[in-house]
Amino acid sequence: MMDRRAWLASVVGVLFAFAHAQDPRRRARVGMLLHGTPATYSTATSVLREGLAERGYVEPTTLELVFRFSNGAADRLPALARELVSAEVDVVVTSSTPAVRAAMASTRTIPIVFFAVADAMGSGLVASLARPGSNATGLTLLIPDLAAKQLDLLGDLVPGLRRVTVLRGRGEGAQAFESIAAAVAARGVEARFVELSSAEEIGPAFAAMQPARSQAVIVVDGPLLNNRDARIADLAATYRLPMISTLRRYVDAGSLASYGPNINAMVRRAATHYVDRILKGANPADLPVEQPTKFEFVINLKTAKTLGLTIPQSVLMRADEVIQ
């Protein structure tokens, strides 16, 4: 027998499809709930617009985007999510796990599309990847699976790597933290795991790395650190510490390297495969959560030279992009 939640999701999907079928020329209203600043998400929002334009949604005639940014303050997300619900958006597009949770707590009927959560099923956002079973679906980063690869690449970039510091915002990227712990243990690398509660703790955390004899830094993806990418890259340069991260924007800001999913490809997929289909009547509960298919390894060669590192040609050839 179909349980009440599944029945409700099915009914909502049918009603949503019926409502949109009445006037296919209506202007779609898409809410954007983003756990960061407009600058942090400027590229992502541009890519989302491009993806929706491919499907015929163009501002202001057939598309209205309604933005809400938390500016990195997680406690603002619930109120911002409620504002989007009150604005009667047709779908909410969001990213980080805290933002998805806030959206899901605010509505069980408005479809929610996430384009970059660390572990959608492990975080309890969906019942399964194949059948999300609620009003939320999208793309998961699967960051925990990247930890071993990042550590191996860091070892290729920093000869004789034996000691690293791993940074994360408190409560963020728990699965990635665990995965890195397993990876360093398997490779005989000593790791210091540092959790930060506020942006004010970032500077002291870097200052403590030299006395701890850390040779490199791994940054775990999460809103607290992602919203300070330029500051973190500057500190890594100041203390002459090679750094690897999941997101390439740290490399653009001046850190050494990144390896992770191509976020722009995921945002575009969210627009063309999820938002478009939902606006045309698809039920999010029936749209499988997808895993990233395109990964990129980016090296900042200018930073490597500043750090006195000679990157082997074999490593440079494996990079998807080398910033000169």
Q: What is the CATH number of the domain that holds 198?
A: 3.40.50.2300
Which pLDDT band holds residue 5 (cuts at 50, 70, 90)?
low
Question: What does the pLDDT average to over 110-116?
Answer: 96
The DSSP code for 307 is T
Q: Could you read off the pLDDT of 243-261 as tens digits, one per residue? A: 999 989 899 999 999 999 9
**Dihedral-angle region of residue 89 (phi above 0 means left; psi in -120 to 50 means alpha; beta otherwise):** beta
Task: Enter the tokens of residue 224.
Answer: 């607290």
List C-alpha distances in Å: 304 to 116, 173, 224, 312, 322: 29, 27, 26, 11, 11
The answer on 85 and 161 residing in a single domain is no
Q: Could you read off the pLDDT of 127-138 as tens digits, one per residue? A: 999 999 999 999
The answer on 300 and 289 residing in a single domain is no
Mean pLDDT score across all residues of the chain:
89
Task: Enter the tokens of residue 138.
Answer: 């999208």
User: Is the predicted pLDDT of residue 22 greater than 50, yes or no?
Assistant: no
The answer on 201 and 281 residing in a single domain is no
What's residue 176's pLDDT?
79
Residue 40 DSSP SS3: coil
Residue 295 DSSP SS3: strand
User: Is the predicted pLDDT of residue 21 greater than 50, yes or no?
Assistant: no
What's residue 231's pLDDT?
94
Identify the weakest region by mean pLDDT among 4-13, 92-101, 160-169. Answer: 4-13
Name which residue leads in pLDDT, 235 or 16: 235
The answer on 188 and 114 residing in a single domain is no
The answer on 175 and 84 residing in a single domain is no
Q: Could you read off the pLDDT of 279-321 as tens digits, one per residue? A: 999 999 999 999 998 899 999 999 999 999 999 999 999 999 9
Q: Could you read off the pLDDT of 195-223 as tens digits, one per residue? A: 999 999 999 999 999 888 999 999 988 77
The answer on 211 and 84 residing in a single domain is no
Question: What does the pLDDT average to over 261-281?
Answer: 96
CA distance 47 to 56: 14
DSSP string, 226-267: HTTHHHHHHHHHHTT--EEESSTHHHHTT-SEEEEE-HHHHH
The angle formed by the CA atoms of residues 182, 184 and 187, to the nearest 5 degrees, is 110
Fill in the amino acid letter for 188: G
What's residue 17's pLDDT?
45
The answer on 304 and 174 residing in a single domain is yes
User: Is the predicted pLDDT of residue 10 greater than 60, yes or no?
Assistant: no
The answer on 26 and 8 residing in a single domain is yes
The answer on 223 and 170 residing in a single domain is yes
The answer on 270 and 242 residing in a single domain is no
Q: Are 219 and 245 in contact (CB under 8 A)?
A: yes
What's residue 142's pLDDT?
72
The answer on 69 and 149 residing in a single domain is no
Domain count for the chain: 2
In sequence order, which residues have a C-beta less than 8 Å from that of residue 261 and are 6 or more positions away?
A: 116, 141, 142, 246, 292, 294, 295, 296
What's residue 145's pLDDT?
64
Q: Range of 156's domain? A: 144-261+296-323
The answer on 125 and 49 residing in a single domain is yes
What's residue 152's pLDDT?
92
Note if the pTM is more than 0.75: yes
